[in-house]
Amino acid sequence: MSGNTIAEHIQALKNKTISSVELTQHYLDHIKTTDNTLNNFISITEDQALTAAKQADEKLAQGSDITPLTGVPIAYKDIFCTDGVKTSCGSKMLDSFIAPYDATVVSKLKNAGTVMLGKTNMDEFAMGSSNETSFYGASKNPWDLNKVPGGSSGGSASAVAARQAPATLGTDTGGSIRQPASLCGITGLKPTYGRISRFGMIAYASSLDQAGPMTQTAEDAAIMLNVMAGFDEKDSTSVDQPVEDYTKHLNNSLEGVRIGLPKEYFSEGLDSQVEKQVQLAIAEYEKLGAKICEISLPTTQLAVPAYYVIAPAECSSNLARMDGVRFGHRADNPADLIDLYKRSRAEGFSDEVKRRIMVGTYALSAGYYDAYYNKAQQVRQLISDDFKRAFNEVDVIAGPTAPTTAFDFGSKKDPVAMYLSDIYTIAVNLAGLPGLSHPAGFVDNLPVGLQLIGNHFDESRLLNLAHRYQQVTDHHTMIPTAFKA
């Protein structure tokens, strides 16, 4: 049962071959059996889930006030505020924080009748590419427990891959949905910036953060996005643009679709076996009628340094509120207010978060703002211009999601080496574009992801391409042997 997709669960609930309570209990039991090994959940909301599932069954029986997602269990990355449930951001700083309200996207999914199984593990404050910075210990990759699941949405990706949940929500600031989706062998979508409300999603870098679905299939991602997308007056960065039906064009022909392959994505740094699997996936698209051509994104190599000025600058501002006074960790017996600030933040944040706060504060300081932050924003515009030119030539851009498969825990002690694992994803956030990673094969029994990049608000096209690919391949159906249920 746990191998079923959201689309299959919807059909089963509609046909009454299973109830929401039975479905929810199945996933809860599977989480209990497997999570001591995987460490994917920070909180499991069993009582709340079963209550919501019972209410969903009552609605399904009456046949009124229901949506396609009524009764379907899902889980949330622990960065989304959930009323009455701990929202920790994977940090000691917020270990005791109980959110007093729901994030907008949580409210939308709750109103659509979904059932919350719990909150998933993550890199602290979404800062990391391996899940190793979590205060609660790292999640494991279900394909190899010695490998990282990616980050920062590693717990969300691993949970879907191990079939602990049919879908999860993640967030993506520089690749934090797509990179773990690649390393865990699932489908992950980062929508256009502003397509989904950020209200109630604890901020890392406000001009880059975006929520998105993490699922087994592109079809499931489309079903989720139908509910998640839309304008929100509570979020000043939310775009007031109508929400289309993202499932409507899933089966469109790919005949004549122009797919661009940036030569910069197939150069030094890309593992040769990963490249082979990506090229095989591109060949499948060509068989489906797509036209493949080489393009250039010349500022690709500037994306990582630009990002690691802009994102830390924004995080240093966003995390200033975590001061031990209003909420979050508070140091014991402070000598004075300054001591309270210093020790609360020193005790509450990990080394990686402190590193990014310090880098960001320095980049924003007097005398350095123009040299670093302003220059990085100018580079950001050049990166965006590259994409604009590319989309005059092609409809979609494709390439590897990550330069390697999942790597060993502790193997990237150098922060810069860790940062480079997001080299193909970061530019998409800087330009505010939609990006999707889907399974494209395996290397030594570890998943490889292919990334599709679209023009602004072209999520339907990305989902269409991924769906058609998944109709003729089976990579997305594979389940790690040890976690089949």
Length of the chain, in residues: 485
3-state class (DSSP) for residue 284: helix
Structure tokens at 397: 């851009």
The residue from 88, 152, 197, 421 that is catalytic is 152
Q: Annotated catalytic, 388?
A: no
Strand, coil or helix: 430: helix
Is 152 an annotated catalytic residue? yes
Phi, psi of 215 (to 5 degrees): -140, 175
Residue with tokens 């505010």: 432
Letter string b/e over residues 428-438, b meaning 16 or more CB atoms within 10 A of that residue's CB: bbbbbbbbbbb
- Selected catalytic residue, list 176, 316, 344, 437: 176
Q: Are strands 258-262 and 115-120 parallel, antiparallel or unpaired?
A: unpaired
**CB under 8 Å to 37, separation ≥6 — which residues?**
140, 145
287 is catalytic: no
**What b-and-e string marks burial along 14-23, b requiring 16 or more CB atoms within 10 Å of the CB?**
eeeeebbbeb
The alpha carbon torsion through 336, 341, 342, 345 (nearest 10 deg) reads: 150
**Is the CA virtual torsion 179, 180, 181, 184 positive or negative?**
positive
- Cα 193 to Cα 238: distance, rounded to the nearest angstrom: 8
Indicate which residues carry an active-site annotation: 77, 152, 176
